[in-house]
Structure 1
Amino acid sequence: MATPSDEMTKNITWRRFEDGQNKWDDWTDDIFNYDTSHKCPTYVHETPPCQGSCPSGHDVRGWLSIVRGIEKPTGEMSKEEYAFYRATESNPFPSMMGRVCPAPCQDGCNRNAVEDFVGINSIEQYIGDKGLENGFGFEAGKDTGKKIAVIGGGPGGMAAAYQLRRMGHGVTVFEAQPELGGMMRYGIPNYRVPRDKLSAENQRIVDMGVDVKLNTRVGKDVSVEQLENDFDAIIWAVGCWTGRALPVDGWEGTPNCVTGVAYLKAFNEGRMKVTGKKVVCVGGGDTSIDVVSVARRIGTNPAMPGNPEDVVNDNGMDQDEALVGGREPVDATLTSLFTKENMMAAEHEIHDAIHEGVTILDGVMPLEVIKGDDGRATGLKVCDCTMDGMTPVPVEGTERVLEADIIVAAIGQGGDLNGLEDFDNGRGLMDTTNNYQLKDKPNHFAIGDIVRPHLLTTAIGQAWVAAESVDEFLKGEEIKKRPKVDVHHFDLLEKLHEAGLDPAEFDPNAGDQRGTSSANYAVHNYEDRSFAEIIGPDELFLGHFEVTPRHKRPEDVPSADEVLGHFKERMQGLDDETAQQEADRCMSCGLCFECDNCVIYCPQDAVYRVPKAEATTGRYVATDYARCVGCHICHDVCPTGYIQMGLGE
């Protein structure tokens, strides 16, 4: 019976070759051809693109494999605990980052070549929340006697403290704000970052023996010279706390023209209860989305004394709680130079903001702040624009004025190095080497936004690199060059050790030792290329994977009519079953996930499962080279690209 034409477009199957591109008509010809190649399978570990795309170098594939039940812990440890410790090798904030990271890992996911990425962020949140529920903690390493000062208690600074304590170094964190958290606390609203979980993830690091000095600004309350006398090394993680001004006429000196950093800080400190009736924000990134989403939630109140910018510009001002009772909805407008599909904000954040009643004007550029007789802004003059690279080009005849009680610029951030002028590179930032060591101050290191404003996870990844650099510096070693693919790699030898399967001691005097396929002093036919290569979808057998829709975590996103006063957490977590189902969509790119294709399809029975007592992740199958004829079928049907024809001539 013929297949209906409409059925042929559904559930598309993927093959290694397109029609007309296959070299042989049948597998028999294929086998006999490759039988003369003299090449046999070897097992090659490569880095998956999710991990290669992650600025913190997360072993994403590893903890997904644990959640799905393929890689199993030894002893009495639960898989939840095992996944937690694997995830926190690189990032001690899985609960937070699972909620707010824009997830470049998901953009890089090879599953996008099948249908849709794996929900990596949702499973990271699941792992982090399980860690908090079960009270999983961290242990410090053996004391080295060395002391490091970390300046800044945000995600970068606390991640550096965590990595340094694991190495056994003493750490003191100096934080200018009243609480730890940095931009996770003062720059992101509480409905995106629940404060109890943020505090718990920070406290878990403090409990490792980290000394914390709050309300202490280095360069003001304590001098750099004092730190240099008291500590063996210093890591600067001070972040960027000044917003960029809008580069248009009328901005400078206008009181109700404020930055997104200041606006969100006033809200996150609990000081700003209501805002202006008409809020216009210029941006396009996640910060601008937060500004307009906050404005829609807190609303306005006609009884508000003074002006809406007063609480933003005065760090000591706290609006009366009574204003909450009579608040009314506000008009919140976001303008972006780029169209929605090219905005820097995450796609779901843009969608959520529109659902909440925010007006987004994309492809629009600001021209001038319009002011009244009292010197305050009454509106923002804008026009449509096209983009020539990163330069907006105005469209003539499209000028108009957006009425505004308060105008917010969320177009970038800069450093505040008052009292630290010797460290300023002239742009309000610090210059470092690739290992985050200051170029002219060898015992000083810097990470995070103060080096280059970027993602929270970027600061966390830099903290790991800087901690290793500090450790090498304190040992008097040369700070090593980082690998091409600088991530937390799966280590087969470490995995074998964990499973009690360490290779035997090598005896160089044991006689003829040519060939190691049966010798247990070597890990035979295995090659680790993860330090140099990221595996792409063209190296996978995509036909193995069925189209499986993503299991999305529920979100509490209010409508425009419900948003006023709505501060419930947005991202809801996955349950155990759904988390496992979503993790099971991972294609384990670059590492075996025990599908048995190579064993089933090998015509010579040359590929076999390693005996269970000797098997572990990465050593599930092996090859009997006395049987192998080099037909390449195992390579062709390996879904993950782990088998490559590398042995022989």
Structure 2
Amino acid sequence: MTTEKETKKTCPVTDILENLRAQLHTEGQLPAKARPAVARVARIVTEVTLGRGNIRNFEELAKAAKELEQIVPSLGAAVLASLKKDREEWTAHVEQNTCEAGICFVPRSAPCQVACPAHIDIPSMMARVGHGDYAQSLSVLAADTPLPDSCGLVCPAPCEDVCVQKAVSGAAVFIRPMKHVAARCADVKPNLEKGAPTGKKIAIVGCGPAGLTAAYYLAQKGHDVEIFDERAQPGGVMRYGIPNYRLPEAKLNAEIDVVKNLGVKINLGHTVRDAKEFQKKGYDATLLATGLQNSKPLGVEGDKQDFVIGGMDFLSAVRNGKNPQVGPHVIVIGGGNAAIDVAMTAFRQGATKVQMWYRRNRAQMPANPHEVELALAEGVELVEFWAPTRVLPDNRIEFERSRYAPDAKTVAPVTVRADHIMAGIGQDADLSWLEGSNIKTEWGNIVVDQTSLLTDEPGIFAAGDIAHGASTVVAAIGSGKRAAESINSYLMGVPADYESLKPQRRDEVPFLESTPAQRVSPERAHIEEIDPQVRKFSHEFMQFDWDEKVAAVEAERCLRCDICIGCGLCELACIEVGAEALKMIETKNGRMVFNDFTTPAEKCIGCGACTSVCPTGAIIVEDRDGYRVTEITGTVVRKQALEVCSCCGETFSASVNQEMETRMELGKMTRGGILCPTCARAKSAESMQQMQWMTSVF
């Protein structure tokens, strides 16, 4: 039976915090006089969730909650009740920095870096591009991938899906091609060296992204690595499954050379027929990274006929130089990235009419939206909500209305004639060569331990699509990194350092200077592409090189989530002092983010409360050249002229209202001079004492 402890997924501390934030961020929810008191409580609770709490927080929080109860009874009472009812969990948060629900104290890495399967330090990489330091940007990339240029061209960019700029302006930072800019413009390549020899020998079966990545890291650890692949050229799916117009051969070859230069030997034309072949030959470990080379059949009656072609088989034949001709009418079944590549390649191989028939609609296609746009621009027709039922001998295919269609029960099946029908619904692997081993398979994939990627055969590991199912190049890179760490652990008898595979800061990069308007601009840069009606007949690279100056401007839109961890302390401190100059919103994953870099210019009083609570240095308030300057991750949001106190001689920043009040009330005593807040308060107190004395005398 499942216990309450096992099902618990909430934390009383964060529940209180979310309620307080919701009150602060809902317009008109709180009277103005209550907001500083609510912000004070929320700030204390936030510090507890960040691990900055101590036993004194209980006293401070209880006192603040009691004061809040006098202003907003329901909120103050809720906090006090939680402190009493959930005392044990509050104590664990404060004294042990532990959260039973596992919500608090988690690393606050940039969402883009977390979403990237290779965990590339994206903010540092982009900031270096913005500074024009392409060699250092490439070095940042090289720490997490041997294939930065390929990623910059073909990655579906899961990083952009979670970019917090998307929540601010509606348009994510254009991250993907930044990697291509770094790889193209770097005048110095990263200094990679093979580690000191360990005497261990490793065989890798498959020269695709997972195999190349594992070899890249294992060689740097000093192991002797050989790759075996049955094809004539290295690269796996990057060469034989991705068209040249998306990933040019020369760029791929250059990245493979980086791996070879580490001493990795690549043996081509080698077909493995026994999973334990390399164990028998004396290798210390084997990694199976063969990918999924075969096209998945349609799985309907008649799908074995000659005019029905597997999508991956077609793409492979084109890249092999076999020049298969198709058309003039081609129907592609499927809605993923592979189906898009098949459809666009069909035009380049003779088709004049290409249709994609898909069982759902465009919004539900798994293909990258930009790839879909490219295909439609070239003339590919998308036919939604149809599923194939059988293929007839006379080049006809029958479809029925998909159950996902709103009119599924009323539309009759249709039969369509086409010269070729291509299956773009997935990939399979031939696993017959695993017979005779203890390696298990399930759903067409090798079964592995999800942490170590070790199979049931000692010393044999598996990574990439063959282990996890069809995915992306960058996912295979992430899998290859994990395999390398596990294999090194296995061979050297040391614990695997899986922590090193988590998102890491690879560089300390200064902020880019940017204007408030640019930081929240919805104007996302784009890459110029060759005219669709010209490129559709060519296998040459389909886009123009992205101008590095445009890339640098786009990099300024990055909100630097590696530095600003989205804790919201600065906003709470600003509300607490009554300035209300900092405006943040909450993203889907609970991270706070600035959505307004312009309000501080009007409301910031230069008090420095924000920078005093910021745990990372994302906000800087400092005096420069006669001004008090407030910066948020590199953007100057406020410049205030510094005044010199006529009493103590210290410089200070005065808002217009403060300055007028000081001049009016104290001008005579200071002969028109301006007092700093401390001296103004002292003078005011002195005046009050004099008034009281005069009143008592007269």
Same fold (TM over 0.5): yes
Matching residue within 221, 225, 232 for 1:167: 221
Structure 1 counterpart SS, 2:477: helix
Letter in 2 for 1:101: C
Distance 1:206 1:57 in 2: 23
Matching residue within 93, 97, 104 for 2:151: 97
Pairwise CA distance, 1:553: 1.7
Superposed, which structure 2 residues align to 1:467-482 within 5 Å? 467-479=484-496, 482=498
Matching residue within 486, 505, 527 for 1:553: 527
Aligned to 2:458: 442
Aligned to 1:20: 28
Distance 1:453 1:237 in 2: 12
Distance 1:100 1:48 in 2: 22
Q: In 1, are the aligned partners of 2:165 and 2:520 still within 8 Å (CA)?
A: no
Aligned to 2:548: 576
User: Percent same amino acid at aligned positions?
Assistant: 27
Residue 292, structure 1, aligned to residue 336, structure 2? no
Structure 1 counterpart SS, 2:446: coil
Matching residue within 588, 596, 607 for 1:603: 607
Change (3 A) 1:277 1:586: same
What is the CA deviation profile of residues 278-337 of structure 1, one whole-angstrom value per residue up to 9, with x for unaligned ones?
Answer: 2111010011111111111221xxxxxxxxxxxxxxxxxxxxxxxxxxxxx522111111
Q: 379-388 vs 175-184, which deviates more?
A: 379-388
Aligned to 1:145: 199
Q: In 2, are the aligned partners of 1:381 and 1:400 still within 8 Å (CA)?
A: yes
Superposed, which structure 2 residues align to 1:457-536 within 5 Å? 457-479=474-496, 482=498, 487-490=502-505
Aligned to 2:247: 193
Superposed, which structure 2 residues align to 1:405-416 within 5 Å? 405-416=419-430
Letter in 1 for 2:460: H
Distance 1:443 1:23 in 2: 66
Aligned to 1:539: none
Greater RCO (Cα-Cα under 8 Å, separation 6 or more):
1
Q: In 2, are the aligned partners of 1:381 and 1:399 still within 8 Å (CA)?
A: yes
Q: In 2, are the aligned partners of 1:239 and 1:415 still within 8 Å (CA)?
A: yes
Residue 431, structure 1, aligned to residue 447, structure 2? yes
Q: In 2, are the aligned partners of 1:548 and 1:585 still within 8 Å (CA)?
A: no
Change (3 A) 1:119 1:28: same
Change (3 A) 1:557 1:486: farther
Pairwise CA distance, 1:607: 4.1
Pairwise CA distance, 1:206: 0.5
Distance 2:43 2:450 in 1: 48
Pairwise CA distance, 1:213: 0.6
Structure 1 counterpart SS, 2:309: strand
Distance 1:621 1:415 in 2: 52
Q: In 2, are the aligned partners of 1:281 and 1:334 still within 8 Å (CA)?
A: yes
What is the CA deviation profile of residues 550-574 of structure 1, one whole-angstrom value per residue up to 9, with x for unaligned ones?
Answer: 1112122413xx3552233123332
Superposed, which structure 2 residues align to 1:374-453 within 5 Å? 378-387=395-404, 394-421=408-435, 422=437, 423-451=439-467, 452-453=469-470
Pairwise CA distance, 1:415: 1.4
Pairwise CA distance, 1:473: 1.1
Structure 2 counterpart SS, 1:156: helix
Distance 1:202 1:364 in 2: 41
Change (3 A) 1:351 1:31: closer
Residue 125, structure 1, aligned to residue 180, structure 2? yes
Letter in 2 for 1:183: V
Letter in 2 for 1:191: Y
> Mind listing any 5+ residue stretches in structure 1 that lack a counterpart?
1-14, 70-77, 300-328, 373-377, 500-541, 611-616, 625-634, 641-649
Change (3 A) 1:135 1:604: closer
What is the CA deviation profile of residues 607-633 of structure 1, one whole-angstrom value per residue up to 9, with x for unaligned ones?
Answer: 4799xxxxxx95677999xxxxxxxxx
Pairwise CA distance, 1:543: 11
Pairwise CA distance, 1:144: 1.8
Letter in 2 for 1:383: E
Q: In 2, are the aligned partners of 1:90 and 1:488 still within 8 Å (CA)?
A: no
Distance 1:137 1:449 in 2: 30
Superposed, which structure 2 residues align to 1:224-243 within 5 Å? 224-243=276-295
Pairwise CA distance, 1:545: 4.2
Pairwise CA distance, 1:424: 4.8
Q: In 2, are the aligned partners of 1:160 and 1:467 still within 8 Å (CA)?
A: yes
- Which structure has the highest helix share of the two? 2
TM-score (norm 2): 0.66
Pairwise CA distance, 1:474: 1.3
TM-score (norm 1): 0.71
Pairwise CA distance, 1:229: 3.6
Aligned to 1:267: 318
Distance 1:339 1:415 in 2: 28
Distance 1:297 1:22 in 2: 63
Distance 2:193 2:341 in 1: 36
Q: In 2, are the aligned partners of 1:365 and 1:394 still within 8 Å (CA)?
A: no
Distance 2:136 2:485 in 1: 24
Distance 1:394 1:418 in 2: 40
Residue 112, structure 1, aligned to residue 126, structure 2? no
Letter in 2 for 1:412: G
Distance 2:130 2:35 in 1: 34
Pairwise CA distance, 1:395: 4.0
Residue 341, structure 1, aligned to residue 363, structure 2? yes
Distance 1:182 1:112 in 2: 34
Change (3 A) 1:604 1:362: closer
Q: How many residues align?
A: 510
Superposed, which structure 2 residues align to 1:270-349 within 5 Å? 270-299=321-350, 329-349=351-371
Distance 1:21 1:149 in 2: 64
